[in-house]
């Protein structure tokens, strides 16, 4: 348990620093009035849309997991609801390890195999949104905001990380012994104390990459990925209508989503505290909005964060209340991930 508590302390410090960076200089005078002016119809519409997308997200992951064994959909939804909740609740994105923990041993699925599906999911999403970021950046009018250059650099770095991860995974899958040997030789010279742990993790989830050659399953995964992210992109516009930012266009909403999606992949505080707000601040730097709309950016950020957390944590809490998963199992999974 002390491992997890230590991660919480570290993550709270990181999150607090990012919150300060995101909201420094923000004038919250009249925030209460702006909050009371929120349009409830598009707000409710966004909440429903995000909840539907959350279900689709779990189904999408289940398509990959079921390549590893005949696991029941009930077990997938249980692990998905609790797992995605834990990504929000646990610090430093340790919740990513909860889904593999909860499905291991069910239908012949191993924890390493389930972990591989999480890695595939994250790498594909990361590459997709780095690409979309530059695509939407090319069609949006230049904002002239000096922060745009920093956002571009961050996107380039993220793209390099995800592309490297994809290349390593494909190389390791097709030429496993050669790739592991090469990484071992490089790692021993750079980070010898960490190399053996990383290689053990690589060996473990390589056994679970059975989904990659399955073209039909991958086609379903990409099809659901398209529907999932299109729905969330539309939702970004709906939230803008709810928070009195009518000039946020659909391309602008998708640009925001691209920056946000890549930004919250950075390990930080529980509930994406700090990374969520800082990513949206960078995203809004790309957009040309009216002064009265810019006054509602903080409101948009907070409302979007609250609704997303409410859906994700609420779904997981309902599963916990049903007794399908115990709180002790969740805490044990988090502590195991922290170790």
Q: What is the pLDDT of residues 198-226, one digit of tens each?
A: 777 677 667 666 656 678 888 899 999 99
Distance CA(94)–CA(89), nearest Å, equals 9
Give the residue from 299, 283, 304 showing the smallest Cα distance to 143. 283
Of the CA atoms within 13 Å of residue 116, those in its CB half-sphere come to 28
Q: What is the pLDDT of residues 64-104, one digit of tens each?
A: 899 888 999 999 999 999 999 998 888 877 788 889 889 98
pLDDT exceeds cutoff 90 at 228: yes
pLDDT band for position 47 (50/70/90)?
A: very high
Apex CA 76: angle with CA 44 and CA 200, to 5°?
A: 120
Apex CA 214: angle with CA 130 and CA 182, to 5°?
A: 65
Tokens of 310: 């409410």
Q: What is the pTM of this model?
A: 0.88
């Amino acid at each position: 348990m002390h491992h997890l508590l230590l991660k919480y302390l570290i993550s709270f410090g990181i999150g607090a620093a990012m919150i300060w960076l995101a909201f420094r200089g923000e004038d919250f005078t009249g925030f209460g009035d702006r909050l009371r002016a929120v349009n409830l119809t598009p707000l409710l519409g966004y909440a429903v849309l995000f909840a539907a997308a959350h279900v689709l997200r779990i189904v999408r992951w289940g398509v990959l997991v079921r390549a590893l064994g005949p696991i029941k959909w009930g077990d997938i939804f249980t692990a998905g609801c609790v797992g995605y909740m834990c990504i929000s609740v646990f610090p430093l994105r340790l919740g990513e390890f909860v889904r593999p923990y909860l499905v291991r041993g069910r239908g012949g699925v191993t924890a390493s195999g389930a972990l591989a599906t999480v890695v595939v999911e994250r790498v594909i999403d990361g590459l997709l949104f780095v690409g979309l970021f530059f695509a939407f950046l090319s069609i949006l009018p230049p904002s002239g905001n000096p922060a745009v250059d920093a956002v571009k650099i961050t996107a380039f770095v993220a793209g390099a990380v995800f592309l490297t991860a994809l290349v390593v995974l494909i190389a390791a899958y097709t030429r496993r012994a050669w790739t592991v040997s090469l990484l071992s030789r490089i790692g021993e010279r750079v980070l010898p104390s960490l190399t053996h742990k990383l290689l053990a993790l690589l060996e473990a989830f390589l056994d679970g990459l059975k989904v990659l050659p399955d073209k039909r399953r991958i086609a379903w995964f990409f099809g659901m990925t398209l529907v999932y992210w299109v729905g969330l992109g539309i939702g970004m516009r709906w939230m803008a209508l709810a928070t009195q930012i009518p000039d946020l266009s659909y391309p602008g909403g998708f640009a925001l989503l691209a920056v946000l999606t890549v930004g919250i992949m950075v390990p930080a505080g529980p509930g994406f505290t700090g990374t969520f707000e800082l990513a949206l601040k960078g995203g809004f730097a790309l957009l040309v909005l009216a002064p009265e709309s810019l006054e509602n950016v903080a409101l948009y950020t907070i409302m979007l964060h609250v609704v997303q957390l409410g859906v994700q944590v609420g779904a997981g809490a309902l599963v916990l209340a049903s007794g399908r998963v115990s709180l002790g199992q969740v805490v044990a999974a988090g502590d195991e991930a922290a170790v």
